[in-house]
Amino acid sequence: MIIANVIGGLGNQMFQYASGLALAHLHHTGFEVDISGFKGYALHNGFELDRVFNISANTCSAGNLYKMLGLSGCKIVRRILRRATFSRIRHTKHIVEPSHAYWAAFGSFSNHVYLDGYWQSEKYFKAIDSVIRREFTFKPNMNALNNVIAEQIKATNSVSLHIRRGDYVSNAKNSFIGTCSLDYYASAIKHINSNVVKPHFFIFSDDVDWVKANLVLDHTKTYVDFNKGVDSYNDMHLMSMCKHNIIANSSFSWWGAWLNHHSDKIVIAPKKWFASELINDTDLVPNNWVRL
């Protein structure tokens, strides 16, 4: 049995799920997700995977956690032992991601472990990408307004453009991430304009007013600003329908671009993903995406 700790926003949840499922497939064993961390979790929209997608994994029970981890099955104990200083006394089946870089040892883990981390690299699940795409098939829940946008996306040389601000700006704990510069978006738009005939930009942001006031975009454009709260996932669904993608340093638009099925797609990602120079983001972006 592989159990993956799932926490954070939708994009983070998808990385954790995909990596855990890939390890389970490698070992031909069962896979469950631990969502106990969402109890009392104030950020984002709670556990979203089963509401948004047709996932196959079951939710892990407290009993299964204790069977695997003993006392570490307790969320508080696990949180304490997650720290590197406690690694020597952590349960051997409790695998904690050591950094943001791809961990080559991942495939050597046993068939009975608890995965604790973000696992933000396609390399963890590339071997079963067709399975992941099937698992992350959106449920047909779009409303009439989203369906109108979807038809426009299909009918044009559509390019999603995502600007993430929100908690990247308002929450000091996220200062190590930072936001993408306007220069990045200007370069990305220029690249698209040089390679795509009559691009139509579909702009997604959690701060559309700021975007309208600051982003210069002299092209056909549509602002998608009506998917809020628990309906925010529809933005990712629409991004995935676009023919090309300009993403932010955000797992949300990363997945929107990754789920884009167009074989000739151009995906542009920021060369600098984190504000902190100490974080290795080399493995975060697929090699066939353009980094600017």
Cβ proximity of 1 and 30 under 8 Å: yes
Average pLDDT, the chain: 91
Q: What is the mean pLDDT of residues 150-159?
A: 98
Residue 3: strand pairing partners? 32, 114
For 47-116, list the strands marked E by DSSP: 58-59, 94-96, 113-116
Residue 130 banded pLDDT, cuts 50, 70, 90? very high
Predicted confidence (pLDDT) per residue in 165-204, tens digit: 755 544 444 444 668 899 999 999 999 999 999 999 999 9
Check residue 86 and give its pLDDT. 66
**71-85, 152-166, 270-284: range with highest mean pLDDT:** 152-166
- Cα distances (Å, whole numbers) of residue 215 to 100, 185, 202, 207: 30, 8, 13, 12
Buried/exposed 101-137: b ≥16 CB within 10 Å, e otherwise:
ebbeebeebeeebbbbbbbbbbbbbeebeeebeebbe
User: 129 vs 39, which has greater pLDDT?
Assistant: 129
pTM attached to this predicted model? 0.93
Do 199 and 220 form a contact (C-beta atoms < 8 A)? yes
Out of 80-84, 93-97, 163-167, the most confident range is 93-97
- Looking at residues 251-269, what average pLDDT do you find? 97
Q: How far apart are CA 280 and CA 164, in angstroms?
A: 21
Cα–Cα distance measured from residue 236 to residue 264, given in angstroms and rounded to the nearest whole number: 19
